[in-house]
Amino acid sequence: MNFEEKTIATREIHKGRIIDVREDTVIMPDGSTALRELVAHHGGVGVIAVTEDRDVFMVSQYRIAARCMMLEIPAGKLEKGENDPEAAGRRELTEETGYEAKDFTYLGAYYATPGYCEEKLHLYLARNLTYKGQHLDEGEFLNVHKMKLDKLYEMVMNNEIIDAKTAIAILKAKAILG
Amino acid sequence: MNFEEKTIATREIHKGRIIDVREDTVIMPDGSTALRELVAHHGGVGVIAVTEDRDVFMVSQYRIAARCMMLEIPAGKLEKGENDPEAAGRRELTEETGYEAKDFTYLGAYYATPGYCEEKLHLYLARNLTYKGQHLDEGEFLNVHKMKLDKLYEMVMNNEIIDAKTAIAILKAKAILG
């Protein structure tokens, strides 16, 4: 059964730099109405870049939402209207790690938290890497780490990776590369 | 290097039913200040329940943030101050699918989108299942599906699962159960 909800009204709550927030009134499958808080976001892209030697380029940065340094794959936001996530992924990989990749394999698109957030994140596996030079955005502070894919896989299985996109990317890269 | 950001001011934007939104002013590692839009959320729990025959209980529901029906593992929100995610996972599993599990294995906690959102989701693998009867919350409309773990794994690898927590749970369950 399809339980589609039809939006009949929208109340704008916040127009921000990274997110907008609104409250929609919807008609439910049983004809009743309900309110839905929704976060709008242009989406993002994440890249797991693996060398011939099974090294992976990871970044760690401070995430105030988690109040800790977090180990993640290189990633970034899409701009409004940007509809080429692979190009965005190539850009973010080079900006954050300095590497360019000959081969990009699509690992799918994922809703981060579909109960209230429109953010969809595209993931890629990057291979055949060449160093071109890192150039971080202004105000971007991060460390780059070279880590073994098998060590990262072990960290995911031991619940030591706490970023959802990073866990998916490592698990899928390990499944593809063995 | 630790690039901790220290909050020096907070502006409340929205106090909602599921999320709060605020803008923090922070001091960056270089001493400059920056604004951070932040979504507060009490966190959640998701459960992949696998039978002896490798059947998995999945739910599909309409997700207005994605404007489609979405196939997911059973999941739910934690209440404010609720600090026993396993109990919440057991509750959600029974409410949505009707099953109780003897064994719960922790699959870790994941930030859905740590750039701006405090939501942390706890995942569990549930085994040794007994049917007790479904009892959905009021206003909750969903279908329950029994699907093979190997079919779900194939769907993740073919990029057909679009919910992040569901992809992680399937990949980890497959890694654990073989």
Q: What is the pLDDT at residue A78?
A: 96
**Cα(B93)–Cα(A158) distance, integer angstroms:** 23
Q: Which one of B52, B138, B140, B154 is the catalytic residue?
A: B138
pLDDT tens for each residue of B71-93: 999 999 999 899 999 999 999 99
Q: What is the pLDDT of residue B135?
A: 82
The interface residues of chain B toward chain A in range 138-167, judged by CB-CB distance below 8 A, are 139, 141-143, 156-157, 159-165, 167
Residue to test with chain B: of A36, A116, A170, most B Cβ within 10 A: A116
Chain A, 24 to 83: residues with Cβ < 8 Å from chain B are: 24, 26, 28-30, 32, 34-39, 41, 44, 61-66, 69-70, 72, 77
pLDDT of A139 > 80? The answer is no
Q: What is the pLDDT of residue B164?
A: 98
Find the mean pLDDT for residues B10-18: 97
Least confident interval from A137-141, A143-147, B10-14, B168-172: A137-141
Which of A66, A121, A157 faces B175 most closely, judged by CB atoms? Answer: A157
Cβ within 8 Å, pair B139-A3: no
pLDDT of residue B138: 76
For A115-125, what is each residue's pLDDT tens digit? 999 999 999 99
Q: Which residue from B34, B77, B116 is facing A139, i.e. has the nearest CB?
A: B34
Q: Quick one: pLDDT at residue B2?
A: 84
Which residue in the block uniquely carries the two structure tokens 């502070």? A141
Domain range annotation of chain A: 6-40, 44-110+118-177
Interface of A with B in 81-100 (CB under 8 A): none
Residues A20-47 have pLDDT tens digits of: 999 999 999 999 999 999 999 999 999 9
* CATH fold group of domain B44-177: Nucleoside Triphosphate Pyrophosphohydrolase (3.90.79)
**pLDDT at position B89, please?**
98
State the Cα–Cα distance between residues A78 and A122, nearest whole angstrom: 10
**A31 burial type by CB count under 10 A (0-12 exposed, 13-18 middle, 19+ buried):** exposed
Report the mean per-residue pLDDT for chain B.
Answer: 96
Identify the band that residue B118 occupies on the pLDDT scale cut at 50, 70 and 90.
very high
Chain B residues whose CB is inside 8 A of the A116 CB are 18-19, 65
A93 contacts: CB under 8 Å, gap ≥ 6: A47, A49, A57, A74, A99, A100, A101, A126
pLDDT tens-digit series, residues A75-120: 999 998 999 999 999 999 999 999 999 999 999 999 999 999 999 9
CATH 3.90.79.10 fits A44-110+118-177, yes or no: yes
Contact across the interface for B167 and A107, Cβ inside 8 Å: no
Confidence of residue B8 (pLDDT cuts 50, 70, 90): very high
Average pLDDT over residues B34-39: 97
Q: Decide if A65 and B2 are in contact by the 8 Å CB cutoff.
A: no
Average pLDDT, chain A: 96
| Phi, psi (rounded to 5 degrees) for A149 | -55, -40
pLDDT at A126 over 80: yes
Q: Name which of A1, A39, A164 is nearest B110 (Cβ-Cβ).
A: A164
Whether pLDDT at B27 is above 90: yes
pLDDT digits (tens, 9 = 90+) for A144-158: 999 999 999 999 999
- The C-alpha of B100 sits at a distance from chain A's nearest C-alpha, in angstroms, of 24
Helices of type H across A98-138: none
Model confidence at B137: pLDDT above 80: no
Nearest CA distance, A118 vs chain B (angstrom): 5
Rg (CA), chain A: 18
Q: Say if residue A127's pLDDT is above 90.
A: yes
- Asked whether this complex has an ipTM greater than 0.85, the answer is yes
Q: What per-residue confidence (pLDDT) applies to B31? A: 93
B53: DSSP letter: T
| pLDDT higher than 90, residue A173 | yes
Q: Sort residue B67 into left (φ over 0), alpha (ψ -120 to 50) or beta.
A: left
pTM (two decimals): 0.97
pLDDT band at residue A72 using 50, 70 and 90 as cut-offs: very high
**Pairing state between β A44-49 and A120-131:** parallel
